[in-house]
Amino acid sequence: MFPTCCRIPNSALSYSSVISSGEDMAGAAGGSNALFCKNMATSLVRKTKLLSMVSSQLNSAACFRNIHCTAACLKNRAARIRVAKGDKPVTYEQAYHPHHIGHRKGWLSQHTSNLQGEDGAAERVVEDVFIRRFMYGTFHGCLADEVVIKRRGNLLLICAVMIQKLLPSKFYFLIGYTEELLSHFYKCPVKIEMQTVEEKVVYKYL
Amino acid sequence: MASSCSQALRHHVCKSSRLLRVHLQKSWTNRSFEGAVCVSSSFALNSAADQQPAVSSPEEIVIPKKKTWSKEAVLQALASTVKRDPTASDYRFQDDPYLTPKTSSEFKLFSLSQESGRNAAKYFINTYPKYFQKDYAQPHIPCLMPDTLEAQIEEVSEAALIERIGMRKVKAAVDLYDQLLQAGTSVSLDVTNQLLDLICFYGDHDPAQENVPEQRNEETEDVQDEPQAKKGRAAKASDLLKATWKEKNNAERIFALLSEPNKHSYSALIRGMVKYGAYSKAFSTYTDLLNSRLKADMHMFNALITAAPEVKEKYNEKWELIVDLLKQMAEQKVRPNLLTLNAVLKALRRCGTVGKSQAFPVISEMKALSIDLSLASYTHLLAIFYKPGAPIQGQTDILQEVMNEVSGKSFTPQDPDDAQFFITAMRICLDTKDMEQAYRVHELLGVGENWRLLGNDFQQNIYYARFFSLLCMMENIDVMLKWYRDLVPSVYYPSSNVMRDLLQALDTDNRLDLIPQIWKDIKQLGHANRQNLVEELLTLMAREKHNQEVQESFAECALDIKKIYDTGDRGKVLLNWTAGSLSDLISVLLAAHRRQDAWDMLKLFKTHNRVPSEELLNKFLMCVKEGGEVNQAVELVQISAGFCLPGTPKLIQRVQQEFELTEQQRKMLSDLEIQSFNSE
């Protein structure tokens, strides 16, 4: 009876109740108007209440669907590499799933914004995303594992493990460039701590 | 609590009775006999109060002043517990074995590449400043904002000129000044003086921009007096940068345009001339100044004193000119400062014996004017008395006196020549072979902020090279190795000469068993391709016989060295075999009974066209005898005959006597014998 995807405003409800009891109004004489109106009002109120009760029951979750405007957060599939043939090398960080954080894995980004009473968490997240993309692009093909970002006071510490793909002098050039550029960008001292390995450290094959 | 209260009360009673006594004593003389009675009663009270335990002594309790700590006090206290880590490399580098520099050239390469990365970033930041304008920092950090490199004010006005002077744009400022004059606006004397300062300081060139990566990054325009070892490279760099005062440059032109130059303008001009080498012109400008009856200032006098040794030839004349200048300074009531003293001492360095006699009087006069000496003054003093290359005539006490004055004090940089002190002092210690003073100099380096005065990396290398050479010469091997392990390679990368000194020290102290370790260090430092170093190493190893395990380690080391001699990947030959080095290597291998390896090495004689010595072959024969390989013995004789060595007959005889030979071998040997007999 009622349309499925929109609510009915209360003013319309009262109007429909007036319409349904329309015959009485048409034949009303002028003399007994006041009394008639009062009777009308009370019956209107009763009918409105009845109608809203019915509509609210119909509004419950079982009967309604709202519009989705965002993408679905597939929490079951994020940051997990599924078991496959057995020839795909996977690092420790990639092998363990997000529910292992705090148990078998550490945190990749360390700051105090998520504590009680601290603010700025969202800004830190945006900064982290930028820094990770920046490192991925600047040291292209050299990153052996995810970048760990630590904040100590004012200092932003970027800890990265690199493959020994470039000459040390080239690494130092990129380190000096990154530190200087990010310091000027974020207006805080940025330091890079780098460790190198010969090849990517494989934890297992999935 | 109760006791302290009662004590406090007693104190109060004491105090008040004391006060009472004092008051009464004041009015004592006015009082008659009755007053005396009062006083005595109060005295009784007093004595009763005074018979308290010794805690409440008659002195006042002095409550100490509250100590205020600076904000970094805790951090400084924590930092003082941590000493330098001798296993870590410099703080600039990453803590990773792949990224730590192992030789001095790598050190320079890595630090320069890091700097050039920074310059590249600065270039981007200054070229696209709009992405870096958002200011997150509270309080504002000005050094992390992009630089404004372009002048803001475009119109032709005095404010624009001031702005360009502030941004150190020499050519732009001069052009703007000319435009202003052509337009008819007069520029005030102050601004013109600032412009003159700018031109004279930079010598009419634009200063090198730091952030442009293409240009060379040496902006120091001071002339370094200390002769540098790498003369080739340093000479080229300083030739490029050492600008000279050109004949008709902008400074003189603008100066001439001034209607009433004041002493600031003259000062700027003279100082610029002296800085860029136009010494006689500086003096003529000074006479112009005197003729126009203006007074000179201190900076001008300092510059003129610096220029004095350049314009005169003989020592006496130089000194007289300096004395003349100092007298004029006194006449014009200009007070000298530390830089004046240093300029005088530096000039006295070029005055020979006059310098030696006049140095101390000058210092005492300056001290009377309460000028404290800086490290640069001490440097010049040492240089006056200890000329490099001159024989030492028992003047060691001057160094000692200087060290007495200087020990334990922390110096701040006040003069550019302060950085020469440590190098000069260490050179003198090396020349006079004075270990004690060397230790004192090194100790001074650890006091306070003095480490900043050691100079740049190059000067640091010179200092440590001299220190190490002295240690190798004078100290025994344990002390030497202790310093070695402390300083190498975290602070200093020794050169191959220093490694040779170290080997000689090992030899002197009979610790040749440490040679394999030193060889590892030599390889790591990148000196493994130095011919004379490697040959010396081999000679030292081969000279004497040691016990078994030492010989084993020597053999391993020798095989390692052999690998260096073999041709590299692309046929690039690093080292060439000589007869001596080959024989040494073979003797080392023989002493460790590595017969097979030694036999392979023997073949190399032929391939590299070297001739083995007799004693080597004798030694080889002895070894072969121990092994009992008859074939090898015969082959040995054949090799010897192949080289037509004079000792071949003796060798044949020995083989015939000591070995059991088959018929064929006997025949071969007798043939060889006849052959060698015939050839003689």
Q: Of A122-131, B8-17, B395-404, B577-586, which range is least confident?
A: B8-17
- Give the per-residue pLDDT at A139: 96
* Neighbouring C-beta atoms of residue B94, cutoff 10 Å: 21
Q: Would the CB atoms of B118 and A180 count as touching at under 8 Å?
A: yes
Q: Degrees (nearest 5) of the Cα angle B93, B99, B103?
A: 85
Kindly state the average pLDDT of the residues A108-127.
Answer: 94
| ipTM entry | 0.75
Write the pLDDT tens digit of every residue in B75-94: 989 988 988 888 888 889 99
Residue of A nearest to B144 (CA): A184
For residues B582 and B70, which has the higher predicted lDDT (pLDDT)?
A: B70
Residue A199, SS3 per DSSP = coil
For residues B621 and B58, which has the higher predicted lDDT (pLDDT)?
A: B621
| B-chain residues near A171 (CB < 8 A) | 94, 99
Q: Report residue B238's pLDDT band, with 50, 70 and 90 as the boundaries.
A: very low
Cβ within 8 Å of residue B502, ≥6 positions away: B468, B472, B480, B484, B494, B518
Q: What is the CA radius of gyration of chain A?
A: 33
- Give the per-residue pLDDT at B204: 75
- Asked if residue A70 has pLDDT above 60, the reply is yes
Q: How far apart are CA B470 and CA B458, in angstroms?
A: 19
Q: Report residue B606's pLDDT band, with 50, 70 and 90 as the boundaries.
A: confident
Write the pLDDT tens digit of every residue in B411-455: 888 888 888 899 999 998 888 888 898 999 998 888 878 888 888
- Give the per-residue pLDDT at B107: 92
Q: What is the DSSP letter of A82?
A: P
Question: B interface mutation test: which of A142, A162, A167, A180 has the most B CBs within 10 A?
Answer: A180
- Give the per-residue pLDDT at A136: 97
Residue ranges in B51-169 assigned as alpha helix (H) = 73-80, 104-127, 158-166
Nearest-by-Cβ selection for A186 from B98, B106, B136: B136
Q: Report residue B392's pLDDT band, with 50, 70 and 90 as the boundaries.
A: low
Q: Would the CB atoms of A176 and B115 count as touching at under 8 Å?
A: yes
Write the pLDDT tens digit of every residue in B500-557: 989 888 888 888 888 888 988 988 888 888 888 888 888 888 888 888 888 888 888 8
- Give the per-residue pLDDT at B10: 52
Q: Report residue A59's pLDDT band, with 50, 70 and 90 as the boundaries.
A: low
Per-residue CA distances from B394 to A171, B387, B467, B471 (Å): 54, 13, 21, 21
Nearest-by-Cβ selection for A181 from B94, B125, B136: B125
| B-chain residues near A175 (CB < 8 A) | 94, 114, 117
Q: How far is CA B115 from the centre of its chain?
A: 20
- A183 at interface of B, judged by CB pairs closer than 8 A: yes
Q: How far apart are CA B341 and CA B86, in angstroms?
A: 40
Q: Would the CB atoms of A176 and B122 count as touching at under 8 Å?
A: no
Helix then strand then coil, % of chain A, to nearest 5 = 40, 15, 45
Q: Would the CB atoms of B136 and A168 count as touching at under 8 Å?
A: no
Residue B44 is which amino acid? A
- Give the per-residue pLDDT at B672: 77
Q: How far apart are CA B305 and CA B361, in angstroms?
A: 17
Write the pLDDT tens digit of every residue in B182-224: 888 878 888 888 888 888 888 777 776 654 433 343 333 333 3
* Neighbouring C-beta atoms of residue B648, cutoff 10 Å: 25
- Give the per-residue pLDDT at B529: 83
- Give the per-residue pLDDT at B124: 94
Q: Report residue A189's pLDDT band, with 50, 70 and 90 as the boundaries.
A: very high
Q: Would the CB atoms of B121 and A177 count as touching at under 8 Å?
A: yes
Kindly state the average pLDDT of the residues B463-483.
Answer: 90
For residues A9 and B63, which has the higher predicted lDDT (pLDDT)?
A: B63
- Asked if residue B55 has pLDDT above 60, the reply is no
**HSE-CB for A170 with a 13 A CA cutoff:** 10
- C-beta of residue B373 within 8 angstroms of C-beta of residue B339: no
- Asked if residue A179 has pLDDT above 50, the reply is yes
- Asked if residue B612 has pLDDT above 50, the reply is yes
Q: Report residue A34's pLDDT band, with 50, 70 and 90 as the boundaries.
A: low
- Asked if residue A138 has pLDDT above 90, the reply is yes
Kindly report the average pLDDT of chain A as a whole number: 83
Give, for B240, the enclosing helix (H) or strand (E): helix B231-241
Residue pairs spanning A and B at CB distance below 8 A: 82
- Give the per-residue pLDDT at A30: 46
Kindly state the average pLDDT of the residues B325-336.
Answer: 86
pTM of the predicted protein model: 0.74
